């Protein structure tokens, strides 16, 4: 308080309804007795009420139309689970592919000696995963699905 008048901050709090009941009653009692403060508060109240009640302005009808055109296709029920299942399958294949490759490396250490002559029937089959790892095929195929899933909140629904 300053010379009996509420501070500017207290009057602001009164106008913004930030005071508790006792404080509010105190300020109101002062306003009844003080024409100067009452005048200040009334002018601000008029301005705040006008600002609060002013028409926000409409939105362009075409804006809703543009929004509906831009909307994504509705998601079919269960599509998210299908996507998750596919992603899990891809992850499993990647893991198993890596594990298998690791096993292959461990089963043929470099200290074993000279390489045996290639066997036309068995070695081609045995080397196939190294030349064409399954991880590449699955990771690329599911990139879009994972990308579409990533920004979404999987805990929702």
Of 137, 134, 124, whose CA–CA distance to 101 is shortest? 134
Shortest distance, position 40 Cβ to another protein, whole Å: 7
Interface pick for another protein out of 1, 20, 22, 58 (rule CB under 8 A): 58
The dihedral over CA atoms of 122, 125, 129, 131, expressed in degrees to the nearest 10, equals 90
Interface pick for another protein out of 1, 16, 21, 33 (rule CB under 8 A): 16
Residue 106 tokens, joined = 């461990």
35 binds another protein (CB under 8 A): no
CA of residue 69 relative to chain centroid, distance: 23
Shortest distance, position 55 Cβ to another protein, whole Å: 4
Interacting stretch for another protein, rule CB under 8 A, among 22-30, 45-53, 103-111, 126-134? 45-53
DSSP letter for each residue of 119-141: PTTTHHHHHHHHHS-HHHHHHHH
139 binds another protein (CB under 8 A): no
144 binds another protein (CB under 8 A): no
Shortest distance, position 32 Cβ to another protein, whole Å: 20
Q: In 3-state terms, what secondary structure has residue 34? A: coil
Count CA atoms within 13 Å of residue 127 on its CB side. Answer: 8
- Residues near another protein (CB under 8 A) are 8-9, 12-13, 15-16, 18, 40, 43-44, 46-60, 63-64, 66-68, 70-75, 151-153, 155-156
């Amino acid at each position: 308080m300053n010379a009996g008048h509420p501070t500017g901050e207290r009057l602001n709090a009164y106008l913004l309804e930030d005071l508790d009941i006792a404080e509010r009653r105190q300020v109101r009692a002062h306003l009844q007795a003080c024409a100067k403060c009452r005048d200040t508060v009334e002018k601000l109240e008029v301005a705040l009420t006008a600002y609060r009640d002013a028409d926000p302005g409409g939105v362009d009808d075409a804006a809703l139309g543009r929004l509906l055109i831009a909307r994504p296709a509705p998601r079919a029920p269960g599509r998210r689970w299908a996507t998750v299942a596919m992603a899990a399958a891809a992850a499993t294949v990647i893991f198993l592919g890596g594990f298998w490759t690791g096993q292959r490396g461990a089963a043929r250490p470099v200290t074993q000696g000279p390489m045996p002559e290639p066997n036309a029937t068995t070695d081609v089959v045995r080397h196939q995963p190294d030349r064409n790892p399954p991880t590449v095929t699955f990771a690329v195929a599911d990139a879009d699905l994972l990308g579409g899933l990533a920004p979404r909140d999987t805990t929702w629904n």
